[in-house]
Amino acid sequence: MIPINKVRDLISKHLLLEKELSAGEVDKKNFAEKSKEYSDLNDVINEAKEYCSFESEKKELEKIINDKNSDKEMIELANSELNDLVKKNEINEKKIKLFLLPKDDADSKNAIIEIRAGTGGLEASLFASDLFKMYEKVSNNKKWALEVISISKSDAGGLKEVIASIKGKNIYSSLKYESGVHRVQRVPDTETQGRVHTSAATVAVLPEAEDVDVKIEDKDLRIDVFRSSGPGGQSVNTTDSAVRITHIPTGIVVSQQDEKSQIRNKEKGLKILRSRIYEMERRKRDEERSKDRKSKIGTGDRSERIRTYNWPQNRVTDHRINLTINKLTEFMEGEIFDEMIENLSLQAQEQELKNIN
């Protein structure tokens, strides 16, 4: 049960915002924020009103059912209405609970995605490349804008590491459950005996932080410049355009050398650094709020094995929610990616709901 006073507070808040906005009493500075709050409340206001009137409507129907003067047809009708009312109230209660869950401020942000080859040598780098292509296809399907920030290729066309920014609507909320170890089981092209090998790649998804989210002081940075190099250490630049940025208070280090311009490399490096600091602060805050965080979906722990991609059996399995989709080919094409994300989101919501019950 949700405390009825909490639901009444939602109704009162909605009414107050409606009066303020219609009367033009909100200054320009707060107008956008209050308009969004009013719009969000609109999604749940009818359910809140029905939830508040549930007990009185229930009592009226029970009165008819228990009244000795009520005829049989009237009692059957009242029983039917009561069953419908109880079912509707359960649906309303769940929707209101979801609305009352603490909001993740980062959900609406763009994201920085980092993919690195893990154990498995050459095959791991090929799998990292496959994962990146998958996220590229998902972005194309959803009309998201993906921009490579940094990329390091392996000898056989795979990827040692790639960092990219993805921009669009509510990107972080869509991708935040991707952080962790992704494992692949397949027969490598170089395998003559047809044996299945297991390799891995790590994915980290960070909310892209703005200047207002993280304030970085110049005095807290150590910036070193060096000459960019290509595969095998071959120089690709005759100037010291590569940049290594160290954030002294946290010890976080970011190197950037993709651009020929030292200024552009610094800009890209700072974007990554800002997001890593922001994510570190968020994780500290979340761990303080929730001691059982490690049992939750999407902890962001890069050492946590979250998913297995099995090529011989054409299936992908997410170990956090025990979901297996027997359409690996379509999944890698980004066609049924939403099915996985929706299931992960629902499971995370269910866990949160248990915590407030």
Comparing 36-40, 103-107, 150-154, 231-235, which segment has the lowest mean pLDDT? 231-235
pLDDT value at 291 more than 60: no
pLDDT in tens, 5-34: 999 999 999 999 999 898 887 888 788 888
pLDDT value at 342 more than 70: yes
Burial class (CB in 10 A: 0-12, 13-18, 19+), 71: exposed
Give the span between the Cα atoms of 12 and 19, in whole angstroms.
Answer: 11
Specify the residue for token string 């763009």.
110
Share above pLDDT 90 across residues of the chain, in percent, rounded to a whole number: 59
Average pLDDT of the residues in 59-87? 93
Specify the residue for token string 């962001």.
300
pLDDT in the model for residue 11: 96
Average pLDDT of the residues in 346-350? 83
Q: What's phi and psi for 105, nearest 5 deg?
A: -60, -25
Residues 6+ apart with CB under 8 A from 65: 75, 78, 79, 82
Taken in order 282, 285, 287, 291, the sign of the CA dihedral is negative
**Residue 158 one-letter amino acid:** G
Paired with 113 in beta bridges are 164, 205
Give the span between the Cα atoms of 325 and 206, in whole angstroms.
Answer: 26
Question: For all residues of the chain together, what is the average pLDDT?
Answer: 87
Average pLDDT of the residues in 89-101? 88
Specify the residue for token string 């059982």.
292
pLDDT in the model for residue 355: 66
Query: Most confidently modeled of 12-26, 187-201, 282-296?
Result: 12-26
Query: Most confidently modeled of 251-265, 296-310, 341-355?
Result: 251-265
Instruction: Work out whether strand 159-167 and strand 197-207 pair parallel, antiparallel, or are unpaired.
Output: unpaired
pLDDT in the model for residue 230: 55
Taken in order 37, 38, 44, 49, the sign of the CA dihedral is positive
Nearest to 357 by CA among 94, 51, 74: 94
pLDDT value at 167 more than 60: yes
pLDDT value at 145 more than 70: yes
Q: What is the pTM of this model?
A: 0.72
pLDDT in the model for residue 234: 45
Domains (ranges, CATH) in the chain? 4-100 (no CATH), 111-208+300-356 (3.30.70.1660), 218-286 (3.30.160.20)
pLDDT value at 231 more than 70: no
Average pLDDT of the residues in 238-261? 87
How far, in Å, are 13, 101, 107, 169 from residue 37 at the CA level?
Answer: 9, 15, 16, 18
Q: What SS3 state is found at 127?
A: helix
pLDDT value at 297 more than 60: no
Answer with the residue of higher pLDDT: 2 or 285.
Answer: 2
Query: How far does Cα 155 stand from its chain's mean position?
Result: 32
The conformation of residue 238, written as its DSSP 8-state character, comes to S
Nearest to 254 by CA among 276, 230, 280: 276
Q: How confident is the model at residue 288 (pLDDT cuts 50, 70, 90)?
A: low
Q: How confident is the model at residue 232 (pLDDT cuts 50, 70, 90)?
A: very low
Query: How far does Cα 263 stand from its chain's mean position?
Result: 31
Strand order in the sheet with 305-310: 145-153, 159-167, 111-117, 197-207, 180-186, 305-310, 315-318, 323-325
